[in-house]
Amino acid sequence: MSCIRFTTAAQLEALHRTAPAVLTAEQAAALHPAPEITPSKIRRLRLLAEHRDPKVRESVASSRHAPLDVQQALAHDPDEGVRSCLARNPTAPPSVLTVLVGDTSERVRSWLAVNDATPPAAVTMLECDESPAVRDLLLWRDAHIQRPVEPAPAEILAR
């Protein structure tokens, strides 16, 4: 018996006709809103940030809702994985990401290099990093991260 399945043109057309509509991210978010962030959730994040298991602390470092003081503490966590999760968190505040520029771990600095939330001053510091991998990731970042296009001065004057 063959594991190859042959689909006829008519079957493909029927599949395309009956395929569900693809929602945009905004439509999906409107249909399935995220749960409310409660004081209880923030208390849990604070407790979990002090857990003995670094994997639990990594989940807090990755959270979009961890309070600033928790993120500041996790920036100095002894576990490299925890600091790496914080370095790649797109909602980490610029002050926390800037602290991580001086991290001894190349892995942490590499995640900073590709996080588009890393502030420009921190990116400038990473450009002088001792690690070729970090500097190469910054080159990749420049080529792949889309930034808002600034209008030309003539366009601004024409408004």
| Domain architecture of the chain: domains with CATH | 37-147 (1.25.10.10)
The arithmetic mean of pLDDT across residues 7-22, rounded, is 80
What angle do helix axes 54-62 and 80-87 make, rounded to 10 degrees?
10
pLDDT of residue 18: 82
- Whole-prediction pTM value? 0.74
Strongest mean pLDDT among 6-20, 28-42, 86-100? 86-100
Contacts of 77 (CB under 8 A, 6+ apart): 54, 57, 61, 83, 86
- State percent of the chain over pLDDT 70: 87
Number of neighbouring beta carbons within 10 Å of residue 22: 7
Number of neighbouring beta carbons within 10 Å of residue 71: 23
